[in-house]
């Protein structure tokens, strides 16, 4: 084995149970995990090394090294090292805190207790001490400590149930089963002697795959993922189980999946990087110009001046001098790209993130969740979003279904009679039915009356609802029933029946027990004719206590109404009208019917059914044919209407967002009908749309043709292809195909199916698809896989160069959330996977409008204003050196005192602009929501782009010219009032620096639009700190201590006491600011932006324009039938595999697979494109459990 392992260490892993010595030979990783990056000793070197991998930091380090060369050093080393040290230490502190918390959680996880079987007895061990090859015992609701091979469990057949929410985000339970030979081992005594050896694949990150072999007692057993319990799962509904540790610690699939998440950058970031590169180019140009100047000067003037100022020793000619001068100028001009830029940007973003976290109006009190900015670096991009990709279930809808209306025997119930009248009273079922669910809401008491008087149709209606389903019930205590429904629609229907006196109580594989009007009745369940997407219906065949056999069927009206007995014709018409009404209200409908079967009919069908069931080939087709055969000549009972409850404020949010010119695409795994229904109810689709295109072709050609025809011809979209979709809207003005303009001016919507999308996304068709889709007002993609969701997002990113936002709540949205520029997770019921992958999370879709229109808009505005000002102030500051170069022999002499250069960016001018970047508001938040058009400048990238950048730079350069030449002109001949000339270097430096600080302060007061206390404190404080620090640095005290460091002693006082100096500063300020003021005023006066106007009139209450449309009811959509669940559960129930006697197990029906049918289920899932995310797509973030 030794040679084996050393020869093929990567290809396989051998683990022998209960044999630590053997396993230690392979040096497998222990179960101790370490996600922290540093310890106390390595922190400094490792962290510094990481930080210097940032280009900016390395650049400044390079500058620092340059400054240490005396011939080049035009500035003291501390002008660079102080800001650099500040930046490095801020980052280091942040990293250290992060790592501290990682250490803490590592410790917490590593010290969890688990029971390990050591020498035949169970001992408590810390998780970190668990070794590969140990057998550990898990109890109910415990986290799995490592990747285990399930050996045995307390449940029959070695089954156990796990929840994998932490791992892949799926909240439903999954079943795992041990290999049959080990499941018999049972108790610890037997397990202690278990010495099987597992040979399996090396550690990898595939969550849904495992392959290995167990060798035990000279036999081979194949191991699959079905036998594995992965770290991160939670054991549910299983008293205890034993497992053999195969992968531990860092080798576990959870940890293998915890890769670094892709770092997202905003477009401003990218623009900023480009601009910084340009500035570097500019810097080099200036350096070259000045170096050439230096060469000329040294040749023409400097060489003659050598008697007074000889060249430094290594310099022997003017060219070498010019070369050194180039580097010297690179040093002093580097402040055009200040190191503090990146830090300030991060600080501002962090501030914005906190504002998002703190926003009360994005707090959901029901779920006690506040909005959270999980990524702090994307805020301003929220102000530029053009496309939103939204999931449907759980995002637009609450995923709560409520029984809303029904039609029984031609009579409709549940209609709220008078919408203007008093709020109808909610029915109280408890006096009538002690088993009623108190949360059930229904308002129409005529239905209850009808039940009470014993109307036969009504009774049969609810009996059907209580029998024809695949719901499991759990009775926690007497009378307290909990239903576990596979789809929320079914749950709603069974709950409705329960409240109206037909209580589904419990089921066994062969029986269903109900309580009908207080009387227990047990039906024999003869067959479940399960649901699938083609059949769009399900039936049960039951024998009632009287011995009569009846088939109950519920399904989509389109399929069910075709299969009725002809005598139902009249009822069918009435019910059909009702169904149309329900559908128009956006409800999900089902039609219900029954059929009495004679004993002979049943026997005959039963035989053919058995035959079909046993068939090995085409089993499904045969079964479908058998089902088809018996679901005929049924009697119509009525129809139900279920409301797929939208989340609060969804239509309003969508309306506001589309007014803000944001295009919303719904990408859902749901069926087309459901998706279209939701599209209507959230007002994405409206009846006054010119055309709703539906693309559902199965082949490349058909999809292409559909796309083309719709692209070219507005009406030609093809009624032929519309399955159950809207008949053309009432009067479609049929535009001739040639009249393209007409088509474009209309409003279109596109609905595309998953299988068509697959073709549309192919390389040769994608441009066509994008152009068609983008011409449409609404796009709905249904039946899409998680991968396709991501592909659609990538497509738009690629072709539209627009900022995209993806919002979703489930694990199937993770890929989309990760590939969009911004991912938003709804923290709902569907686990935390989406939230973990997201950049922002909150609990209600409607918060999106606040996130984008208020926070995003502000962030963008603030960031743009910040950047403009920042580049301006640094150019104004730095370019003065350039002009001075022409007067000081291009010697790289600075204009200012070196301390001023050090502190300018980090003290004198940093806080006011930070305050503006964090707090500025142009219009209040209510106005942003009121006028969604205010969002447009962000989408068009108007506030900070290359043009704006050049304007800032130009303004900065202009300011620097004024700041240099005005003091130059004034001071060159001026004297103090005691006759001493003012043109000495130090006076000049102090005058220019003071003028600069004042000019940029005045400029920030002009730029700041929202003066909070903090802005005042920062602006005045910065000015104050400038004078204070300057007087301190020029004081005698400091000079006496360090005479060589503080040359400027007395300059501040001597300079600032001179009226001429103040007159100079005032003059320079006026010359700098007056043109800006005039320009801004003209812009505001002649071409005011919307925000300016809103700001101006914000006190004038603007009557909000309401979209005064009535909920148009066209009756044009139909068949959003309430059957959104997967098939397979009928089989599950009848197979009895999931039937357990303990009440514990009744709760766990969720997905109790046994190996015989799990494959069927999976196969079906695949065929219906319900593929769950595979391990490869699902990168799991580390979470501690």
Q: Counting every residue, how long is the chain?
A: 1185
Rounded to the nearest 10°, the torsion over CA 783, 789, 795, 801 is 130
Is residue 1053 within the footprint of other proteins (CB under 8 A)?
yes
H or E, element range at 308? none
Phi, psi of 854 (to 5 degrees): -100, -65
Distance CA 813, CA 392 (A): 10
Residue 1077: partners with Cβ closer than 8 Å, 6 or more residues away: 1006
> What residues are designated binding site?
391-393, 490, 531, 554, 588, 668-670, 783, 789, 809, 812-813
Residue 349 CB, shortest distance to other proteins, in Å, is 15
Give the footprint of other proteins on residues 369-428 (CB under 8 A): 369-370
Give the footprint of other proteins on residues 951-990 (CB under 8 A): 966, 968-989
Q: How many CA atoms lie within 13 A of 174 on its CB side?
A: 22
| The one segment of 515-523, 766-774, 909-917, 1036-1044 that binds other proteins by CB under 8 A | 1036-1044
Distance CA 733, CA 743 (A): 10
Q: Which residues pair with 437 in a beta bridge?
A: none
Q: Which is nearer to other proteins, 784 or 914 (CB)?
A: 914
Yes or no: say if 863 and 377 are a contact pair by the CB < 8 Å rule: no
Q: Which is nearer to other proteins, 520 or 981 (CB)?
A: 981
Residue 1067 CB, shortest distance to other proteins, in Å, is 6
Site string (310-349) toward other proteins, x via CB under 8 A: x-xx--------------x---------------------
Give the footprint of other proteins on residues 1056-1085 (CB under 8 A): 1058-1060, 1063-1064, 1067, 1070-1071, 1074, 1077-1078, 1080-1082, 1084-1085
Give the footprint of other proteins on residues 821-860 (CB under 8 A): 858
Residue from 1049, 1056, 1122, 1150 in contact with other proteins (CB under 8 A) = 1049
User: β-strand 803-808 against 822-826: which pairing, if any?
Assistant: parallel
Residue 385 CB, shortest distance to other proteins, in Å, is 19
391 is catalytic: yes
Task: Please name which of 882, 963, 964, 1047 lies closest in space to residue 332, comparing C-alpha atoms.
Answer: 882
Give the footprint of other proteins on residues 867-906 (CB under 8 A): 887-889, 891-893
Q: Which is nearer to other proteins, 493 or 970 (CB)?
A: 970
The structure tokens listed for 923 are 């219009």
Distance CA 469, CA 465 (A): 7
Residue 980 CB, shortest distance to other proteins, in Å, is 5
Distance CA 109, CA 1091 (A): 52
Q: List Cα–Cα distances, 545 to 316, 468, 582, in angstroms.
A: 115, 17, 35
User: Under DSSP, is residue 329 helix (H, G, I), strand (E, B) or coil?
Assistant: helix
Q: Which is nearer to other proteins, 426 or 1047 (CB)?
A: 1047
Is residue 1041 within the footprint of other proteins (CB under 8 A)?
no
Distance CA 29, CA 33 (A): 9
Residue from 61, 1090, 1144, 1169 in contact with other proteins (CB under 8 A) = 1090
| The one segment of 400-408, 550-558, 1054-1062, 1165-1173 that binds other proteins by CB under 8 A | 1054-1062
- Site size for other proteins, by CB under 8 A? 111
Residue from 420, 456, 1100, 1110 in contact with other proteins (CB under 8 A) = 1100
Angle between helices 1013-1033 and 910-919 (to 10 degrees): 170
Residue 879 CB, shortest distance to other proteins, in Å, is 17
Distance CA 807, CA 835 (A): 10
CA-angle at 169, arms to 163 and 172, nearest 5°: 40
Give the footprint of other proteins on residues 551-590 (CB under 8 A): none
Q: Which is nearer to other proteins, 3 or 1037 (CB)?
A: 1037
For the beta carbon of residue 328, count every other beta carbon within 10 angstroms. Answer: 27
User: Under DSSP, is residue 1135 helix (H, G, I), strand (E, B) or coil?
Assistant: helix
Q: Which is nearer to other proteins, 287 or 491 (CB)?
A: 287
Give the footprint of other proteins on residues 1104-1143 (CB under 8 A): 1105
> What residues are designated binding site for ATP?
391-393, 490, 531, 554, 588, 668-670, 783, 789, 812-813
Long-range own/partner contacts, residues 272-275 (CB < 8 A, 24 or more apart): 272/341, 272/345, 272/867, 275/871, 275/946, 275/949
Q: Which is nearer to other proteins, 427 or 1023 (CB)?
A: 1023
Give the footprint of other proteins on residues 151-210 (CB under 8 A): none
Q: List Cα–Cα distances, 383 to 350, 353, 825, in angstroms.
A: 16, 13, 18
> What residues are designated binding site for Mg(2+)?
391, 393, 809, 813
DSSP 15: E
Distance CA 961, CA 883 (A): 7
Is residue 596 within the footprint of other proteins (CB under 8 A)?
no
Q: Which is nearer to other proteins, 118 or 1060 (CB)?
A: 1060
Distance CA 1000, CA 1026 (A): 12
Distance CA 1078, CA 254 (A): 62
DSSP 364: B
Give the footprint of other proteins on residues 348-367 (CB under 8 A): 354-355, 357-361, 363, 365
Distance CA 770, CA 1120 (A): 27
Residue 683 CB, shortest distance to other proteins, in Å, is 17
Distance CA 159, CA 53 (A): 51
The structure tokens listed for 438 are 């108190």
The structure tokens listed for 1173 are 């995310």
Is residue 1169 within the footprint of other proteins (CB under 8 A)?
no
Residue from 1, 65, 69, 301 in contact with other proteins (CB under 8 A) = 301
Residue 1096 CB, shortest distance to other proteins, in Å, is 5
Site string (58-97) toward other proteins, x via CB under 8 A: ------------x---x-----------------------
Distance CA 612, CA 624 (A): 9
Task: Please name which of 810, 846, 850 lies closest in space to residue 829, comparing C-alpha atoms.
Answer: 810
Is residue 1036 within the footprint of other proteins (CB under 8 A)?
yes
Active-site option among 134, 168, 359, 391: 391
How far apart are the two ends of the chain, measured CA to CA in Å? 36
Residue from 68, 85, 285, 304 in contact with other proteins (CB under 8 A) = 304
Site string (644-683) toward other proteins, x via CB under 8 A: ---------------x------------------------
| The one segment of 232-240, 596-604, 800-808, 1035-1043 that binds other proteins by CB under 8 A | 1035-1043
Residue 362 CB, shortest distance to other proteins, in Å, is 9
Distance CA 1179, CA 260 (A): 9
Residue from 856, 1009, 1120, 1172 in contact with other proteins (CB under 8 A) = 1009
Residue showing tokens 């600069």: 996
| Residues annotated as part of the active site | 391
């Amino acid at each position: 084995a030794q040679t084996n392992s050393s020869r093929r260490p990567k290809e396989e892993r051998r683990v022998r149970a209960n044999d630590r010595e053997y396993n230690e030979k392979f040096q497998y990783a222990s179960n101790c995990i370490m996600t922290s990056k540093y310890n106390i000793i390595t922190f400094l070197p490792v962290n510094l090394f990481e930080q210097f991998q940032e280009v900016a930091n390395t650049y400044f380090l390079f500058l620092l090294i340059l400054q240490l060369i005396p011939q080049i050093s035009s500035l003291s080393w501390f002008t660079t090292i102080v800001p650099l040290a500040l930046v490095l230490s801020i980052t280091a502190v942040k990293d250290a805190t992060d790592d501290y918390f990682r250490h803490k959680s590592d410790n917490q996880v590593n010290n969890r207790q688990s029971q390990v079987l050591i020498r035949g007895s169970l001992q408590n061990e810390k998780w970190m001490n668990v070794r590969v090859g140990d057998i550990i015992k898990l109890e109910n609701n415990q986290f799995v400590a490592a990747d285990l091979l399930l050996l045995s469990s307390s449940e029959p057949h070695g089954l156990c149930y796990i929840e994998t929410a932490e791992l892949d985000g799926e909240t439903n339970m999954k079943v795992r089963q041990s290999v049959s030979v080990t499941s018999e081992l049972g108790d610890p005594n037997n397990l202690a002697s278990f010495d099987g050896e597992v040979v399996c694949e090396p550690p990898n990150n595939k969550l849904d795959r495992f392959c290995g072999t167990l060798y035990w007692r000279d036999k081979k057993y194949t191991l699959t993922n079905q036998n594995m319990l992965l770290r991160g799962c939670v054991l549910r509904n299983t008293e205890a189980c034993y497992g053999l540790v195969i992968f531990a610690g860092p080798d576990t699939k959870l940890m293998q999946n915890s890769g670094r998440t892709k770092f997202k950058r905003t477009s401003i970031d990218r623009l900023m990087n480009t601009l910084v590169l340009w500035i570097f180019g500019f810097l080099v140009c200036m350096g070259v110009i000045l170096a050439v100047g230096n060469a000329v000067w040294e040749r023409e003037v400097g060489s003659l001046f050598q008697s007074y100022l000889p060249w430094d020793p290594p310099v022997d000619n003017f060219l070498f001098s010019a070369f050194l001068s180039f580097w010297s100028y690179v040093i002093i001009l580097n402040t055009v790209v200040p190191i503090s830029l990146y830090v300030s940007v991060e600080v501002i973003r962090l501030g914005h993130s906190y504002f998002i976290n703190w926003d009360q109006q994005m707090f959901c009190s029901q779920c006690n969740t506040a909005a959270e900015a999980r990524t702090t670096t994307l805020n301003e991009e929220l102000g530029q979003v053009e496309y939103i990709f939204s999931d449907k279930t759980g995002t637009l809808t609450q995923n709560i279904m409520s029984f809303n209306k029904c039609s029984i025997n031609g009579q409709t119930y549940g209609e709220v009679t008078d919408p203007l009248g008093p709020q109808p009273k909610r029915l109280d079922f408890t006096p009538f039915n002690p088993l009623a669910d108190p949360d059930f809401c229904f308002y129409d008491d005529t239905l209850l009356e009808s039940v009470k008087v014993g109307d036969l149709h009504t009774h049969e209606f609810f009996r059907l609802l209580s029998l024809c389903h695949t719901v499991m019930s759990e009775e926690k205590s007497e009378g307290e029933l909990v239903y576990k429904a596979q789809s929320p629609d079914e749950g709603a229907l069974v709950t409705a029946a329960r409240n109206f006196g037909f209580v589904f109580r419990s089921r066994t594989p062969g029986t269903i027990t109900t309580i009908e009007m207080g009387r227990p009745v047990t039906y024999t369940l003869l067959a479940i004719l399960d649901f699938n997407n083609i059949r769009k219906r399900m039936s049960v065949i039951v024998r009632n206590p009287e011995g009569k056999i009846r088939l109950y069927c519920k399904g989509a009206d389109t399929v069910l109404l075709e299969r009725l007995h002809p005598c139902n014709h009249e009822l069918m018409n009435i019910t059909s009208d009702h169904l149309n009404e329900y559908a128009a209200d956006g409800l999900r409908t089902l039609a219900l019917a029954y059929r009495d079967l004679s004993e002979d009919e049943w026997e005959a069908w039963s035989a053919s059914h058995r035959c079909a069931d046993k068939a090995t080939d085409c089993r499904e087709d045969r079964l479908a044919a058998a089902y088809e055969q018996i679901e005929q000549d049924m009697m119509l009972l009525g129809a139900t209407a279920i409301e797929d409850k939208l989340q609060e404020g969804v239509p309003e949010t969508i309306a506001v967002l589309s007014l803000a010119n944001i295009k919303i695409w719904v990408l859902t795994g749901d069926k087309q009908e459901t998706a279209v229904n939701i599209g209507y109810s959230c007002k994405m689709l409206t009846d006054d749309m010119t055309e709703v295109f539906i693309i559902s072709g199965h082949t490349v050609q058909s999809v292409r043709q559909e796309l083309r025809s719709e692209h070219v011809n507005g009406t030609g979209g093809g009624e032929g292809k519309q399955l159950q979709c809207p008949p053309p809207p009432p009067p479609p003005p049929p535009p001739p195909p040639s009249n393209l303009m007409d088509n474009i001016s209309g409003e279109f919507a596109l609905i595309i199916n998953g299988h068509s999308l697959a073709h549309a996304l192919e390389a040769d068709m994608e441009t066509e698809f994008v152009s068609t889709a983008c011409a449409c007002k609404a796009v709905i993609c249904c039946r899409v896989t998680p991968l396709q969701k991501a592909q659609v997002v990538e497509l738009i990113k690629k072709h539209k160069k627009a900022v995209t936002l993806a919002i979703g709540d489930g694990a199937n949205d993770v890929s989309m959330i990760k590939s969009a520029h911004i991912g938003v997770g709804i923290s709902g019921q569907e686990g935390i996977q989406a939230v973990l992958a997201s950049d922002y999370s909150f609990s209600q879709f409607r918060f999106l409008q606040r996130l984008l229109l208020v926070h995003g808009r502000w962030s963008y505005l603030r960031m743009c204003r910040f950047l403009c000002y920042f580049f301006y102030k640094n150019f104004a500051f730095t370019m003065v050196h350039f002009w001075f170069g022409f007067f000081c022999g291009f010697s790289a002499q600075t204009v200012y005192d070196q301390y001023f250069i050090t502190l300018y960016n980090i003290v004198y001018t940093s806080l006011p602009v930070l305050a503006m970047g964090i707090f500025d508001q142009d219009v209040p938040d209510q106005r942003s929501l009121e006028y969604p058009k205010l969002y447009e400048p962000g989408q068009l990238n108007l506030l900070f782009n290359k043009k704006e950048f050049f304007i800032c730079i130009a303004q900065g350069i202009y300011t620097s010219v004024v700041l240099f030449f005005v003091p130059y002109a004034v001071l060159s001949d001026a004297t103090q009032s005691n006759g001493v000339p003012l043109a000495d270097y130090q006076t000049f430096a102090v005058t220019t620096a003071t003028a600069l600080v004042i000019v940029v302060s005045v400029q920030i007061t002009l730029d700041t639009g929202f003066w909070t206390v903090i802005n005042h404190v920062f602006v005045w404080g910065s000015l104050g700190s400038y004078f204070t620090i300057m007087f301190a640095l020029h004081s005698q005290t400091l000079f006496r201590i360090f005479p060589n460091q503080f040359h400027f002693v007395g300059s501040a006082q001597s300079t600032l006491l001179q009226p001429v100096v103040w007159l100079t500063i005032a003059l320079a300020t006026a010359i700098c600011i007056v043109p800006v003021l005039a320009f801004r005023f003209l812009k505001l006066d002649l071409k005011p932006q919307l925000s300016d106007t809103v700001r101006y009139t914000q006190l004038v209450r603007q009557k909000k324009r309401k979209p005064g449309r009535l909920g148009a009811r066209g009756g044009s959509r139909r068949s959003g039938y309430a059957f959104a669940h997967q098939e397979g559960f009928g089989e599950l129930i009848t197979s009895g595999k999931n039937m357990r006697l303990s009440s514990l197990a009744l709760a766990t029906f969720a997905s109790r697979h046994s190996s015989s049918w799990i494959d069927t289920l999976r196969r079906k899932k695949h065929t219906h494109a319900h593929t769950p995310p595979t391990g490869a797509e699902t990168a799991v973030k580390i979470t501690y459990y």
